[in-house]
Structure 1
Amino acid sequence: MDRKLDNDVLDAVGPRLRALRRDRGLTLADLAASTGVSESSLSRLESGQRRPSLELLLPLARIYDVPLDDLVGAPRTGDPRIHLKPIRRFGMTFVPLSRQPGGVHAFKMIIPAQPERLEPTPQTHEGFEWLYVLDGRLRLVIGERDLVVPPGEAVEFDTSLPHWLGSADGGVVELLILFGLQGVRAHVRTGPHRSSRAGSRR
C-alpha cells in the first residue's frame, strides 16, 4: 500500500475506526493501552481532525485483526478472497459464513467486552444451534442451567428452550455457530461409522 492515502478515502477512515472500536467493545483508553497511541490522537483520528498515517493505522489493524486496506476502504481489485459483511444484532457481531437460503447456516459470532456483569435476558425461537468457542469464556444460559464454556468446547441445544449468550468474565468471546431451522441438527461424527444389519436387534 502506498504511504500516501488518496484524499477521496480519508473522510471515511474516522467513522470506520470508531465503528470497529465499538464493535469490539473497546474504549479509547483500552485502545491507547493496547497500541501505545495516545487517547487524544485516537479521538482526533476517529473524528477526522487528524490525518491517518501508516504509523497510526498499522497498530490499529493489528489490534482489530483486519487488513490495512479494510481500514481505509481501499478497492479490492484482483483480490481473490471472499469478503463477508458483518451484521450487528443485540450488541453482538455476526459474520455470515454461508449463503444458502435453506439448511444449516454458519456464522462467526463476536461478543464484545462487558465491563459489568449483564443480567441474562433469555430468548426462544424455532431451530437448533451448535456452537464452538474459539476464544474467551462463554456464559451460556439454557433454561435453568447456567454454564461456562471455555475455548475448544462445543455445545448444541434446541433454541425453543429459553437461552442467552454472554461473556463469563467480561472479556471478548469469539465463537462459531451452526444454526438449523425447523430442528435441523449438526451431526458430529466422533469415530468410525459402524453399520448394523437390519433386523439384528434382539
Structure 2
Amino acid sequence: MTDQPDLDPVLDAVGPRLRDLRQRRGATLADLSRSTGISVSTLSRLESGGRRPTLELLLPLARAHQVPLDELVGAPETGDPRVHLSSFERHGVTYVPLTRRPGGLQAYKQVFPAGYHAGPPDPRTHEGYEWIYVLSGRVRLLLGEHDVVLEAGEVAEFDTRVPHWITNAGPGPAEALSLFGPQGERMHVRARPTRRGTPE
C-alpha cells in the first residue's frame, strides 16, 4: 500500500481556476484558443471539468494567463492572495519581489542596509520605466544631470534609458518600493481626487 495523495481534488479544482483566470482577464474562449492553439471545445471542457488537464494543455495556458504552472494546479481552493517569493541580494541590496507575473510591470521592495555604499557612482541605462517610493530612510538618485536625495514619503518616476544610479543616502538603513516596466510601461493613475469649492 502506498501513501500517494489523492490527486482528484487537485485536478477537479483546475477547471474552475482556469475559468476564473480567463474571466478576470476579460478574455473569451475564442481569444484563448487563438493565443494557445487549443480548440474552443477542449478549453470549454477543461473549464467545466469534462476534460482532465494534462501538462501539454496546462503549459500553454499558463503562458497565456502569465502565471506560474503551480498556480494552475497547486493553489488552495480558497485562493491565497499572499505572494510567497524568495528575496535575493544584488550588490549588497536586498530585493523582495512583490509580484510573480512574468513580464509586464514588476514590483519590488528594496532594502539598503545601514552604512551601505555602492562605491563610486556608475550610472547605467536600459529599456524600461521605473517608479520608486521611499518607505523609510533616505535614498540618493542620480538621474542624468540631477542628483537628488529622496526622503521617506517621496516618489521619483523616470525613464530608465536616462543614465541612473541609486544608493542609500544614509546614515541609517533605507527601504523603498520600486515598480519597473521592462518595455517602458508607465504607471497610470486611474482617478485623481477633486477639490470642490476651489476657485479656478
TM range (shorter): 0.5 to 0.7
The residue correspondences of 1:28-177 to structure 2 (distance < 5 A) are 82-114=83-115, 118-177=119-178
CA contact (8 A) 1:106 1:179 kept: yes
CA contact (8 A) 2:91 2:118 kept: no
CA contact (8 A) 1:129 1:178 kept: yes
How big is each residue's C-alpha offset from its partner over 1:64-102, in whole Å with a ceiling of 9 and x where there is no partner? xxxxxxxxxxxxxxx995432001112111111001112
Structure with higher Rg: it is 2
Question: How far 1:190 sits from its partner (Å)?
Answer: 6.1
How far apart, CA to CA, are the structure 2 residues paired with 1:108 and 1:173? Answer: 11
How far apart, CA to CA, are the structure 2 residues paired with 1:152 and 1:120? Answer: 24
Task: Label 1:144 to 1:191 Cα distance change in 2 as closer, same or farther (>3 A).
Answer: same
How big is each residue's C-alpha offset from its partner over 1:26-81, in whole Å with a ceiling of 9 and x where there is no partner? xxxxxxxxxxxxxxxxxxxxxxxxxxxxxxxxxxxxxxxxxxxxxxxxxxxxx995
How far apart, CA to CA, are the structure 2 residues paired with 1:81 and 1:178? Answer: 18
Count residues with an aligned counterpart.
Answer: 115
CA RMSD of aligned residues (A): 2.3
How far apart, CA to CA, are the structure 2 residues paired with 1:115 and 1:91? Answer: 7
Task: Label 1:115 to 1:138 Cα distance change in 2 as closer, same or farther (>3 A).
Answer: closer
Tell me which residue corresponds to 1:58.
none
Gapped regions of structure 1 (runs ≥ 5): 1-78, 194-202
Question: How far 1:171 sits from its partner (Å)?
Answer: 2.0
The 3-state SS of whatever aligns with 1:141 is strand
The 3-state SS of whatever aligns with 1:146 is strand
Tell me which residue corresponds to 1:7.
none
Task: Label 1:166 to 1:190 Cα distance change in 2 as closer, same or farther (>3 A).
Answer: farther
Question: How far 1:140 sits from its partner (Å)?
Answer: 0.5
Q: Percent identity?
A: 53
Normalising by structure 1, we get a TM-score of: 0.52
